[in-house]
Amino acid sequence: MKIFPAIDIKNGKCVRLLKGDFNQSTEYEKSPIDQAKEFSNLGYKDIHIIDLDGALNENPVNSKVIEEICKIKKLRTQIGGGIRSVDHIKKLIDIGVDRIILGTIAVTDIKFLENACKEFEKKIAVAIDVRDGYIALRGWKEQTKIHALDYLKKIQNLNVSRIIYTDINRDGTLTRPALEETFKFAQSQNGNNFIPVVVSGGVGTINDVVAVQKLAYDPRIEGLVIGKAIYTGRMPHDQLVRLTDFN
């Protein structure tokens, strides 16, 4: 199981949102670069970064900060937020990003997603941000009538490298992830041609992490993203790092 500590960047600072609401954000003292270094020093090998400014502007904004984070040795980064073009993808890969997370454009332009997966093999992940079963777009501000399971069927054969499945209603709440819904989503993929799913939203205690680990016997569950629980000191880093798969 991979554990991805999260860094959300807004106005050059680390923040956490409550249920994706930009008006309910908590700002933290450490800069994104310092926070990434701390995660690396603690032993994490993967990190999840969202450029919130980019998501709002539909264009990556914090590329310089991300480039500095990518210079940290032995730290793999997956980046999302405002990525809308092949040029955006190329620039991020060129600075050392391991996985590019496509959100809105992956839903609104599946042909673009297909072409990106072909051109950047094993580099494209998809963020499926769900509210009550239906996908939300554009920094979670636009609610669609696209059911997550219906969308999954459309992209299952496009060679997407991973899916980050976020339950928006739980994100930042520390109330436990939507494990049943996420596992059902992952298991809906039949056969060997599946996209690994990363759990996101609502992780509050080490027990939540252990619960996800128990699901990770199934290769369709790859790991989980942890944000606010780390920043509030609720997570013992030594236990988390021991649970992490460094492959």
User: Annotated catalytic sites, by residue?
Assistant: 8, 129
Rounded to 5°, the CA angle 58-102-209 comes to 120
Closest listed residue to residue 115, CA positions, set 154, 91, 86, 78:
86
Residue with tokens 């620039």: 91
- Measure the CA–CA gap between 173 and 215, rounded to whole angstroms: 21
- Measure the CA–CA gap between 124 and 182, rounded to whole angstroms: 20
